[in-house]
Amino acid sequence: MILIKNGFVYTIDKKTNRQNSLRSASFNKMDVLIDDNLIVKVANTIDENCETIDAHDKYVFPGFIDLHTHLRDPGQTNKEDIYSGTRAAAKGGWTTVCAMPNTDPVVDNISTVEYLKRKAKDIGACKVLVIGAMTKKSEGKEIAEIANMLESGIIAVSDDGNCIQNTKIMYNVMKYVSKFNIPIIDHCEDYFLSGKGQVNSGRMSTKLGLSGIPALAEEIVISRDIMLSESTGCRLHIAHISTKKSVELIRQAKAKGVKITTEVTPHHLLLNENECVNFDTNTKVKPPLRTQDDVDACLTGLLDGTIDFIATDHAPHSDFEKEKEFSIAPYGINSLETAFAALYSGLVLKDKISLSFLIGKLSTSPAHFLQLNCGAIEEGMAADITISDLQKDICFTPDTMMSKSNNTPYLNKSLKGRITKTICEGNTTWEDRD
Amino acid sequence: MNSTNIPSHSHGKDFVGRNLFDLDDWSAEDIQVVLEATKIMKEVNKRDYKKLPTLRGKTVCTLFFENSTRTLMSFELAADRLSADIVRFSANASSLHKGESLQDTVYTVDAMGIDLYIIRHSYPGSPQLVNKYTGKPVLNAGDGPHAHPTQALLDIFSIWERTGTLKGLKITIVGDIAHSRVVRSNLIGMKKMGAEVTICGPSTLMPGYMEEVYGCKVEHDLKTALKDADAVMGLRMQLERQSEGLFPSLEEYSKLFTLSSETMKYAKKDALILHPGPMNRGVEILPDIADSKQSVILEQVTNGVAVRMALLFLILGGKM
The Cα of B6 is separated from the nearest Cα of chain A by a number of Å equal to 31
Is the minimum CB–CB distance between A391 and chain B shorter than 8 Å? no
Task: Give yes or no: residues A50 and A71 share one domain.
Answer: no
Judged by CB atoms closer than 8 Å, whether chains meet at A210 and B208 is answered as: no
Burial of A200 (0-12, 13-18, 19+ CB in 10 A): buried
**pLDDT one-digit tens code per residue, A265-288:** 999 999 999 999 999 999 999 999
Confidence of residue B2 (pLDDT cuts 50, 70, 90): very low
Task: Give yes or no: residues A219 and A93 share one domain.
Answer: yes
The Cα of B82 is separated from the nearest Cα of chain A by a number of Å equal to 32
Q: What are phi and psi of A296, to 5 degrees?
A: -60, -40
Is the minimum CB–CB distance between B238 and chain A shorter than 8 Å? no
Summary mean pLDDT of chain B: 93
Task: Give yes or no: residues A301 and A222 share one domain.
Answer: yes
Is the minimum CB–CB distance between A292 and chain B shorter than 8 Å? no
Is the minimum CB–CB distance between B277 and chain A shorter than 8 Å? no
Cβ-based contacts of B209 with chain A (< 8 Å): 202-203, 206
Is the minimum CB–CB distance between A27 and chain B shorter than 8 Å? no
- Which one from A73, A81, A108, A313 is the annotated catalytic residue? A313
Query: Closest partner residue to B145 among A209, A323, A328, by Cβ?
Result: A209
The Cα of A206 is separated from the nearest Cα of chain B by a number of Å equal to 6
Tell me if A241 is assigned to some domain: yes
Task: Give yes or no: residues A33 and A53 share one domain.
Answer: yes
Task: Give yes or no: residues A15 and A138 share one domain.
Answer: no
Cβ-based contacts of A326 with chain B (< 8 Å): 123-125
Tell me if A138 is assigned to some domain: yes
**What string of pLDDT tens digits covers the 434 residues of chain A?**
999 999 999 999 876 555 554 568 999 999 999 999 999 999 999 999 999 999 999 999 999 999 999 999 999 999 999 999 999 999 999 999 999 999 999 999 999 999 999 999 999 999 999 999 999 999 999 999 999 999 999 999 999 999 999 999 999 999 999 999 999 999 999 999 999 999 999 999 999 999 999 999 999 999 999 999 999 999 999 999 999 999 999 999 999 999 999 999 999 999 999 999 999 999 999 999 999 999 999 999 999 999 999 999 999 999 999 999 999 999 999 999 999 999 999 999 999 999 999 999 999 999 999 999 999 999 999 999 999 999 999 999 999 999 999 999 999 999 999 999 999 999 999 999 87
Query: What is the 3-class SS of chain A, one letter each residue?
Result: CEEEEEEEEEEECCCCCCCCCCCCEEEEEEEEEEECCEEEEEECCCCCCCEEEECCCCEEEECEEEEEECCCCCCCCCCCCHHHHHHHHHHCCEEEEEECCCCCCCCCCHHHHHHHHHHHHHHCCCEEEEEECCEHHHCCCCECCHHHHHHCCCCEEECCCCCCCCHHHHHHHHHHHCCCCCCEEECCCCHHHHCCCCEECCHHHHHHCCCEECHHHHHHHHHHHHHHHHHHCCCEEECCCCCHHHHHHHHHHHHHCCCEEEEECHHHHHCCHHHHHHCCHHHCCCCCCCCHHHHHHHHHHHHHCCCCEECCCECCCCHHHHCCCHHHCCCCECCCCCHHHHHHHHHHCCCCCCHHHHHHHHHHHHHHHHCCCCCCCCCCCECCEEEEEEEEEEEECCCCCCCCCCCCCCECCEEEEEEEEEEECCEEEEECCC
ipTM: 0.91
Task: Give yes or no: residues A298 and A354 share one domain.
Answer: yes
Tell me if A375 is assigned to some domain: no
CATH number at residue A48: 2.30.40.10
Task: Give yes or no: residues A422 and A327 share one domain.
Answer: no
Task: Give yes or no: residues A209 and A247 share one domain.
Answer: yes
Cβ-based contacts of B143 with chain A (< 8 Å): 209
Is the minimum CB–CB distance between B19 and chain A shorter than 8 Å? no
Centre a 10 Å sphere on the Cβ of residue A119 and count the other Cβ atoms it contains: 18
Cβ-based contacts of A209 with chain B (< 8 Å): 124, 143-147, 181, 184
Distance CA A30, CA A11 (A): 9
Query: Closest partner residue to A208 among B121, B124, B129, by Cβ?
Result: B124
Judged by CB atoms closer than 8 Å, whether chains meet at A203 and B123 is answered as: no
Task: Give yes or no: residues A306 and A388 share one domain.
Answer: no
Tell me if A214 is assigned to some domain: yes
Judged by CB atoms closer than 8 Å, whether chains meet at B209 and A203 is answered as: yes
Query: Closest partner residue to B125 among A202, A203, A325, by Cβ?
Result: A325
**pLDDT one-digit tens code per residue, B254-312:** 999 999 999 999 999 999 999 999 999 999 999 999 999 999 999 999 999 999 999 99
Distance CA B84, CA B81 (A): 8
Cα B269 to Cα A34, B113, B263, B272, distances in angstroms: 88, 52, 12, 9
The number of folded domains in chain A is 2
Cα nearest neighbour of B24 on chain A:
A207
Is the minimum CB–CB distance between B123 and chain A shorter than 8 Å? yes
Task: Give yes or no: residues A136 and A259 share one domain.
Answer: yes
Is the minimum CB–CB distance between B192 and chain A shorter than 8 Å? no
Tell me if A121 is assigned to some domain: yes
Task: Give yes or no: residues A154 and A240 share one domain.
Answer: yes
Is the minimum CB–CB distance between A216 and chain B shorter than 8 Å? no
In the residue annotation, A313 being an active-site residue is answered as yes
Is the minimum CB–CB distance between B101 and chain A shorter than 8 Å? yes
Distance CA A388, CA A7 (A): 10
Tell me if A204 is assigned to some domain: yes
Tell me if A222 is assigned to some domain: yes
Cα nearest neighbour of B101 on chain A:
A324
A341 is in which domain, residue-wise? 64-370
Which of residues A370, A403, A422 is at a domain's end? A370
The pTM is what?
A: 0.93
Query: Closest partner residue to B125 among A203, A320, A326, by Cβ?
Result: A326
Mutate to test the interface with A, among B19, B107, B129, B211 (most CBs of A within 10 A): B129
Tell me if A92 is assigned to some domain: yes
Cβ-based contacts of B208 with chain A (< 8 Å): 201-203, 206
Question: What domains does chain B contain, in order, with CATH numbers?
Answer: 3-147+301-315 (3.40.50.1370), 149-300 (3.40.50.1370)
CATH number at residue A196: 3.20.20.140
Task: Give yes or no: residues A162 and A40 share one domain.
Answer: no
Cα nearest neighbour of A208 on chain B:
B146
Query: Closest partner residue to B124 among A201, A212, A279, by Cβ?
Result: A279
Q: What are phi and psi of B311, to 5 degrees?
A: -65, -45
What single-letter amino acid sits at B78? Answer: A
